[in-house]
Amino acid sequence: MAICNTCSSNSPLLLSFFTITISFCLTIIPLASALTFNYTSFSPQYDDNITYERAYPDSNRVIQLPANRETAGRATYNQSMRLWDKATGNLTDFTTHFSFVIDSRNSSYYADGLAFFLAPQGSKIPTNKGGGSFGLTKDNEPLNSSIPFVAVEFDVYVNSWDPTFSHVGIDINSVKSKKNVSWWSDVKSGRRNEAWISYNSSTHNLSVAFTGFRNNLVVMQGLDYQVDLRQHLPEFVTFGFSMATGVDFAIFSIYSWEFNSSLEMDDETTNPVSNPKRRRKNRTALVVGLSLGGGVLVGGVVLIIWLAGIGRKRKEGDEEDNQGFSEYIDDEFERGAGPKRFPYKELALATNDFNDDQKLGQGGFGGVYKGFFRETNSYIAVKRVSQGSKQGIKEYASEVKIISRLRHRNLVQLLGWCHEKKELLLVYEFMPNGSLDSHLFKENSLLTWEFRYKIAQDLASGLLYLQEEWEQCVVHRDIKSSNIMLDSNFNAKIGDFGLARLVEHAKGSQTTVLAGTMGYMAPECATTGKASKESDVYSFGIVALEIACGRKPINPKAPQGQVSLLQWVWDLYGNGKLLEAVDPRLCRDFDGQQIERLMIVGLWCAHPDENLRPSIRQVIHVLNFEAPLPALPPKMPVPTYLSPP
């Protein structure tokens, strides 16, 4: 840690240098427009960033629409969001998460609904009586609004243009949804719901994940729709909630609201230059600035290295527990792009000094803690390797070496690291919906089939990147449902690369010590010690069966013949009774063709003979209905192995 020690002893010099350098460099870096906030409660006395129209925070610090008939109300954020940039055409990415209640107080008659919406800057409630327009359109134009808007509606009343059930829908300039899905709303009980809405500027995908209730189970549901928001809304928009009652009514309440958006812009976007001569001068200045800035930066690096050398000599022998390892880890991270070093104090503050109340889980080599950065209003997950664990240190080094260089939408993103005070810490993006196993096996929670199938496809996509699309083949060696993490929209991401290994694409396997988790581990790994793409495909197959069947791979308490999930499902497949293995909690609410494909693909991937397993690319083709199902033997084959030379 010599650099840190040196920086401390020469802090005035370095502070001056970096103040000048960073200030200079910031003048030539592309600008970004970002908006972020997180409300866990609401109070007009202490916060003036929300505008209320006929809906106000009550004594419980909850935004509430009064229980009156034919009433509309709104709560919108005061600062408008820059949705897109006219000069570049760039669109923003945004995510929002909120909790809400629609409560009819046990009445069977209720109306109408609540919507999260985007509308032109300065939008107010139009003149209307509420009802099915949610306070978004005028009374006489619910299906063709003169006021542009995009909204996600939570609709509990059936109007003439609605489906015949409570639903969640995506609306564009009309309250007749472009796409909708039935919603298990349970309005009579007035239970609290959660919703996550996100927009991907690259794919133009507007996605919604939300909870409902069925048979006292929390049901996870979702839908998505592709829309280019630039075609429907101006650059700057007002956003927030609009809710309405009709002849019947319910009490609408918003309990919490979190929002994040980001939009990359060029400097000319915010400071446009109309004069061509001035533009040429700006470009010349930019080239000179970049050259000078680069020179200053290089000089700074040389200065730091020189000071570090002095500090190393002065502090030789100090902090010997960290120095060699730190240099190795730093070198590994410098080869990657993106992750950064976090000071220990910052992570200790974010996790409340690693308080047990913040612990998300405990692994074999340490715990994972939830953290919160107040400066950015964002959550993180911190993996803390147990002190004195040599195997934990090896895992830490492996994750540093591998995941710092990986970038894919279906891999958990590494944000940074810290190794101070004998601590080894890895900082990851926070996955609000936890791990897949926590949803498959919790008695009070239920993932709908749509989510399950999408999760299987996401997992296959992440494995394809690891096995074929990155510069080297990454063998994960511990694919299992507890290592599949779910973000706010239940997109699946592979995590925990502590056991991962790099192999050349041509080689495809590596003989190593036994690693993995029983039930998910391919049989050849136990007998030959060989980890390969095929062994990860085997693990994928087991997870696919878990997703479809809602059962763990090994259940010692199960009836005879059902202890092994793989053996049980294969027996049912051979007897033509495959669907008897489907998770009974789905109550037959699933796509029959999809679930059959997922289970047969699961068996195919978990074939005892590694040479007869599919590639992950073949798996994706079958799951996408781009290739036929394989013909498998009616009885599970018995593997035979050759001893390694």
How far lies 403's CA from each of 318, 371, 398, 474, in Å? Answer: 30, 20, 8, 10
Phi, psi torsion values for 124, nearest 5 degrees: -125, 170
Q: How many CB atoms lie under 10 A from the CB of residue 226? A: 12
Residue whose C-alpha is closest to residue 56's, from 36, 37, 71, 35 = 71
In total, the chain counts a number of residues equal to: 645
Tell me which residues are annotated as active site.
478
Q: What gap in Å lies between CA 36 and CA 259, rounded to an integer?
A: 5
Phi, psi torsion values for 158, nearest 5 degrees: -95, 105
Q: What gap in Å lies between CA 200 and CA 79, rounded to an integer?
A: 21
Report angle CA 330, 334, 338 to the nearest 5 degrees. Answer: 115
Residue whose C-alpha is closest to residue 14's, from 300, 302, 298, 345 = 300
**Are the C-beta atoms of residues 90 and 84 closer than 8 Å to each other?**
yes
Q: What gap in Å lies between CA 279 and CA 274, rounded to an integer?
A: 8
**Are the C-beta atoms of residues 366 and 385 closer than 8 Å to each other?**
yes
Q: What gap in Å lies between CA 168 and CA 152, rounded to an integer?
A: 7
**Are the C-beta atoms of residues 414 and 381 closer than 8 Å to each other?**
no
How far lies 548's CA from each of 50, 508, 563, 630, in Å? Answer: 44, 29, 17, 18
Q: What gap in Å lies between CA 96 and CA 631, rounded to an integer?
A: 45
The 3-state DSSP class for residue 298 equals helix
* Helix count and strand count (H, E) for the chain: 14, 29
Tokens of 64: 């509430």
Q: 383 a known binding residue?
A: yes
Q: What region does 130 belong to: left with phi over 0, alpha with psi -120 to 50, or beta?
A: left
Q: What gap in Å lies between CA 58 and CA 70, rounded to an integer?
A: 20
State the binding site for ATP.
383
